[in-house]
Chain A
Amino acid sequence: MNPLPIVRALFRRNRGTVLLFMGLIALAVGLGVAISAQERALRKGSARAADRFDLIVAAPGSQTDVLLNVVYLQPSAIELVDPTILAGLLAEPKASLVAPVAFGDSVDGFSVVGTTAAFVERLAGPLAEGRIFRNRSEVVIGAVSPFRIGDRMRPVHGHGAAAEGPHAAELTVVGRMARTGTPWDAAIVAPVEHNWAVHGLPTGHPPDSEAIGPPYDPSRLPGVPAVVVVPDSVPSAYGLRNAYRTAETTAFFPAEVLVQLYAILGDVRSVMDTLAIATQVLVIAAILAGLMAVTEIQRERFAVLRALGAPRSYIFAVVWVAVTAMVTAGAAAGLAVGWAAAAVLSRFIARETGIAMTASIGSGEIGLALLLVAVGGAVAMIPATLVLRQPVAESLRG
């Protein structure tokens, strides 16, 4: 028994309708796949971006705000960590690296972040070109920054239309970091002493000193928005986190906050998934109605096949294979459409946020498409069964 030639003939006869149905299925699947793939890309990209920020210590307040400031460089007002606590952290024996992070300035909309040379290396590894800053008027730039080595700039205080300035101090670009896949790739990274100095704060060094980096004088430290701490071991990490969860500070692993954010994102995703599934159900229902109309139009053809000796199982197979093939092709096209949409969205979001993200089709999306194919296969039995109920002799008269 070979239903394929008749299925092909059916498709050729109803080319426009078949393409329309397949397009609808592809759109419905593509929507679900795009949502799912994009959400995963965002989740992975944001998690990867936070990888190098082992433990963040900040003033009490919203951990999410601190995370957005420190990792994703989304400026917002946050309280400062008291200088004495910063001094204590800098002397912390369980930490292999303690890096104060200061921000608030920008150049042409690009954040100027102050930190230490050691943290630049921790974040991005060896520089892609040039060298690390050696004094308060030198900066390095992120991998995708539009600036070049040798460029000079004067930061303004704040971002965008609310910015004030510019500051008197001029900065010169001396190096470019390797790509990190984080918003830091577009940033301008200065010695933290530069940020402190231009805002009239103590710099951790004597007033007439131009030194940068540790060791710092504990009595000359200012408050800082956040401190990135790299613990020397896993037990130390948990120990430090607990030690700095006090009335004066909060300490957290970025992953902790991301998990909470993902839970919210997950709720949104489940709503979107439900909408996508509802869309697919509606599309299948519409297609089923269309198919019943098409099979009604084709009843004479099926009657001819029956008259020529086709068993009921053959007619059933023709209709079932036709519908299932259409749903399968639509679902496969939907996977491709969904992946393409997610890829375009990822590229757009990466450009806007600096978070590197790659859209990919995972088992969830393939499972979604397979589920639709399975439902389509089951639903296909309805028109296939209805065709068999049509009286042959009557249908032959057209």
Chain B
Amino acid sequence: MSEGARLSAHGLSASFRDEDGRRFEVLDAVDFAPAPGRFTVITGASGSGKSTLFNLLSGLLPPRAGEVRFDGRGISALGEGARDRWRRVSLGLVFQNFHLLDELGPVQNVTVPALFGAFSDRRYRPRAEALLDRLGVPGGRRTLHGMSRGERQRVAVARALLFDPPVVLADEPTASLDAVSGAGVLAILRDLAREGRTVVVVSHDPSALSMADTAFRLGAGKLEPMAETAP
């Protein structure tokens, strides 16, 4: 993991058109610079633009205005191939619905991002196994069938960590989990921040807020800091 890698958003704006063709602002000139080593949570009501911010930060959506920078470089300036590689290697993405491939086993799911590169995915199997072991996913499973939702989300977190990225972004990682499993996943994400990563969780889960080092609330297109919940 590269130390001190910083992800930041500057004047980020996004808008959509509704069914009647009217444009409405989702994000309005948002500035955001989550600190490495801190567990950052962004909360907000449904429809407040949390997922839009997640997609902008991960380069999946182009902003209407402003830019996302990584280590001082605007990711919009990157060519598409370089942006794909950046997302693969420097970002770890975790989704609400896990987005695992049910036909593959846990280890194969974790090594999926390695399929896109120049090296064989087999080369990453030991790391995948070590990650699953570290995250408490029972070893030796050949399929995802029979795994709990909490275990599946841990597999998804392991996949996000395959290339040891300096930034981890999670979009509602606990929304489809029970309270115990959700708390376990949040604890893992917080531990990842403790290791020096930039970890940003977009969530409306109160337990995520309670564990956050830094919290923001998104509303009316603006991102406002909340009182810090940890030193």
Partners in one complex: yes
Contact residues of A with B, CB < 8 Å? 1-3, 5-6, 8-10, 12-13, 300-301, 304-312, 314, 392-393, 396-398
Tell me whether B88 and A6 are in contact (CB under 8 A): no
Tell me whether A308 and B101 are in contact (CB under 8 A): no
Given A5-B108, A13-B102, A309 contacting B116 (CB threshold 8 A): yes
Tell me whether B84 and A6 are in contact (CB under 8 A): no
Tell me whether B104 and A9 are in contact (CB under 8 A): yes
Tell me whether A13 and B103 are in contact (CB under 8 A): yes
Bound CA–CA A3/B114 (angstroms): 11
Q: Give 25 A-B contacts (CB < 8 Å), ordered by A residue.
A: A1-B116, A1-B118, A2-B120, A2-B121, A5-B112, A5-B121, A6-B112, A10-B103, A13-B102, A305-B116, A307-B58, A308-B93, A308-B112, A308-B116, A308-B159, A309-B84, A309-B86, A309-B91, A309-B113, A311-B85, A314-B115, A393-B55, A396-B60, A396-B95, A398-B97
B89: A residues at CB distance < 8 A: 309
B39-88 residues at the A interface, CB under 8 angstroms: 51, 55, 58, 60-61, 80-81, 84-88
Besides A6-B115, A305-B112, A310-B84, 9 other CB < 8 A contacts? A2-B121, A5-B108, A5-B112, A9-B101, A304-B99, A307-B99, A308-B112, A309-B91, A397-B51
Bound CA–CA A290/B101 (angstroms): 22
Tell me whether A311 and B116 are in contact (CB under 8 A): yes
Tell me whether B121 and A12 are in contact (CB under 8 A): no
Bound CA–CA A393/B54 (angstroms): 10
The 3 residue pairs across chains A and B that have the minimum distance between CB atoms: A309-B88, A9-B103, A12-B103
Bound CA–CA A396/B113 (angstroms): 17
Bound CA–CA A2/B121 (angstroms): 8
Q: Is the interface of A mostly helix, strand, loop or mixed?
A: helix
Bound CA–CA A1/B118 (angstroms): 5
Bound CA–CA A8/B112 (angstroms): 13
Interface presence of B140 (CB below 8 A): no
B103: A residues at CB distance < 8 A: 8-10, 12-13
Tell me whether A3 and B115 are in contact (CB under 8 A): yes
From B56, which residue of chain A is reached at the shortest CB distance?
Answer: A393
Bound CA–CA A312/B80 (angstroms): 9
Interface presence of B117 (CB below 8 A): yes
Q: Mark B99-129, 1 if CB is under 8 A from A, else 0.
A: 1011110001000110111101100000000
Bound CA–CA A305/B116 (angstroms): 9
B60: A residues at CB distance < 8 A: 306-307, 392-393, 396
From B85, which residue of chain A is reached at the shortest CB distance?
Answer: A309
From A8, which residue of chain B is reached at the shortest CB distance?
Answer: B103
A13: B residues at CB distance < 8 A: 102-103
Output the least CB separation between B113 and chain A (Å). Answer: 5
Output the least CB separation between A251 and chain B (Å). Answer: 72
Bound CA–CA A392/B101 (angstroms): 17
Bound CA–CA A376/B99 (angstroms): 30
Output the least CB separation between B211 and chain A (Å). Answer: 25
A392: B residues at CB distance < 8 A: 60
B51: A residues at CB distance < 8 A: 397
A311: B residues at CB distance < 8 A: 80-81, 84-85, 116
B97: A residues at CB distance < 8 A: 398
Bound CA–CA A394/B175 (angstroms): 19
B80: A residues at CB distance < 8 A: 311-312
Output the least CB separation between B127 and chain A (Å). Answer: 16
- Max count, chain B CB within 10 A of own CB: residue among A1, A2, A314: A2
Tell me whether A308 and B88 are in contact (CB under 8 A): yes
Output the least CB separation between B228 and chain A (Å). Answer: 30
Output the least CB separation between A297 and chain B (Å). Answer: 14
Output the least CB separation between B76 and chain A (Å). Answer: 15
Bound CA–CA A102/B112 (angstroms): 79
A5: B residues at CB distance < 8 A: 104, 108, 112, 115, 121
